[in-house]
Structure 1
Amino acid sequence: MQLFTLAANVNLYDAPTGDRLATQGAAARFLWAPALQPAQPTARLYVQLAEDEYWGWLDPSDYPKLQPATTPYQPIPCDRATVVSAIEAIIEFCEAARRVPHEYLWGGTVAPHYDCSGLIQASFASQGIWLPRDAYQQEAFTTPIAPRGATIDEVLPKLERGDLIFFGAKEKATHVALYLGEGYYLHSSGKECGRNGIGVDTLLPSADPVGTAYRQQFRGAGRVASSYLPMPNFCAF
């Protein structure tokens, strides 16, 4: 396999055919892919992003956006103090994304259209802090605020601005939001059960149907303590 950098944004799909996104790769990210030949194949390539180890299928039309990396990918570690110093910039990233025309996009990690975990990942990455890609992975990566099964009333007093809030079924987190303080959180929610984009809701009892629906799916909260570091020799190929 060969390490590339992306000269422009790309879509990665979740299958060799079809239009369902797995994720997106922003310009300047590192990506593992089979070495390209002069006669490039016409089928999608299975590739892996370096920073979060996430995989997907790349369209042949995007092969010209792959540039052989001139330096190895070197993750940059950080501690909780670094994260804390970046929280306000992370929140402003999300607020700025909210202010421009956009809609919810499953698999979206590149402006202007995001899914829930894509927005969270992109906002932290804007400050050099990498998180895993999906909501359930982000939940596993963060430090729990309270034991699993704790109620909103038990968790709420312990939350700090910039913590992550997780929602979903008992088995798995399927949605993530960024805590703003005073019970409010910012998130990118879907078209059928949400706001079709980035909005603010509350963990407190409310007559709003969106906030009420997510309250019923509350799983817990986590605190980002460091940047995600891929395993040594992590390429999955």
Structure 2
Amino acid sequence: MVECLSNPIEYSCRENLDLYDATECQTLATQARKGRHLRLFPEPQNHISNSPSILVQLCEDDYTAWLTTSDRNQLEIATQPYQAQIWSEDQIQAAIPQIIQFTQAAMAIPNYYLWGGTVGPNYDCSGLIQAAFAAVGIWIPRDAYQQEAFTKSMAFNPEQLDFSCLLPGDLIFFGTAQKATHVGLYLGGGEYIHSSGREHGRNGIKVDILSPEGDACIQYYFQHLRGAGRVIGSYQPASVFH
């Protein structure tokens, strides 16, 4: 559910900023690249007594998180409000080579898995995917389960290793029966690129294959394969101001 904000003023980030999942600002939730737009929640929502943070909403994807009060001086009033672009499915497919190239270039730079990372060089899984699409002007939601809900579902048969319905640029989702918790970008030929963690993954961006055989990482993600989805549009912010 998207919150209603009473303050229509948009701010832009002067620098890359860290945003957190709670008022204490201990755990990273996402990051805002320099130039991104956000709005502040009105009091009392946007500030808790003795809290070191302010609740904000990013304009491009409606994501809410906490900004440290010390970083508020890194905001300036935006000269123009954020305008979401309309992308057709054909336009998105034409941009897929650039999106794939972004992920491959990110992999070529030394990196490690960072929970909440979206600006590089260190990404989490959905942060890498969101950043890759955003690099060409296409916005998709922030988290893996949100990305799954946003995409057009693509049916395939993992038992027969038949991924013929998938196209490069499709998103591959992993997790439990209840929820997607991990996402990668399909490259074709059963391969996908993703940023995976330390415990079960590569601690960074690597290319893996959809297969029940292979090393522990390949097997782990194949066992947690949920499905795939295709991005057929750019996210349109749903924030309501009154």
Question: TM-score, normalized by length of structure 2?
Answer: 0.90
Q: Please give the alpha-carbon distance, in whole angstroms, between the structure 1 residues aligned to 2:207 and 2:201.
A: 11
Change (3 A) 1:214 1:128: same
Q: 1:178 aligns with which of 168, 179, 185?
A: 185
Q: Please give the alpha-carbon distance, in whole angstroms, between the structure 2 residues aligned to 1:183 and 1:42.
A: 47
3-state DSSP class of the match of 2:34?
coil
Unaligned 5+ segments in structure 2 are 1-6, 43-49
Q: 1:163 aligns with which of 159, 170, 185?
A: 170
State the superposition RMSD in angstroms.
1.9
Q: Please give the alpha-carbon distance, in whole angstroms, between the structure 2 residues aligned to 1:232 and 1:34.
A: 12
1:207-222 to 2 correspondence within 5 Å? 207-222=214-229
Q: CA offsets, 1:100-153, max 9 Å, x none?
A: 111000010011010000000000000000000000000000001118xx5353
Change (3 A) 1:42 1:166: closer
Deviation at 1:18, TM superposition (A): 3.9
Change (3 A) 1:159 1:152: farther
3-state DSSP class of the match of 1:114?
coil
Residue 161 of structure 2 is aligned to residue 187 of structure 1: no
Question: TM-score, normalized by length of structure 1?
Answer: 0.91
- Of all paired residues, the percent bearing the same amino acid is 50
Q: Please give the alpha-carbon distance, in whole angstroms, between the structure 1 residues aligned to 2:109 and 2:239.
A: 39
Unaligned 5+ segments in structure 1 are 36-40
Is the 8 Å Cα contact of residues 168 and 187 (structure 2) preserved in structure 1?
yes
Change (3 A) 1:155 1:130: farther
Q: CA offsets, 1:213-235, max 9 Å, x none?
A: 000000000011010111252x6
Deviation at 1:70, TM superposition (A): 1.5
Counterpart of 1:46 in structure 2 is 55
Residue 30 of structure 2 is aligned to residue 23 of structure 1: yes
Counterpart of 1:111 in structure 2 is 120
Q: CA offsets, 1:148-204, max 9 Å, x none?
A: xx5353751111111000000000000000000100000000011100000011012
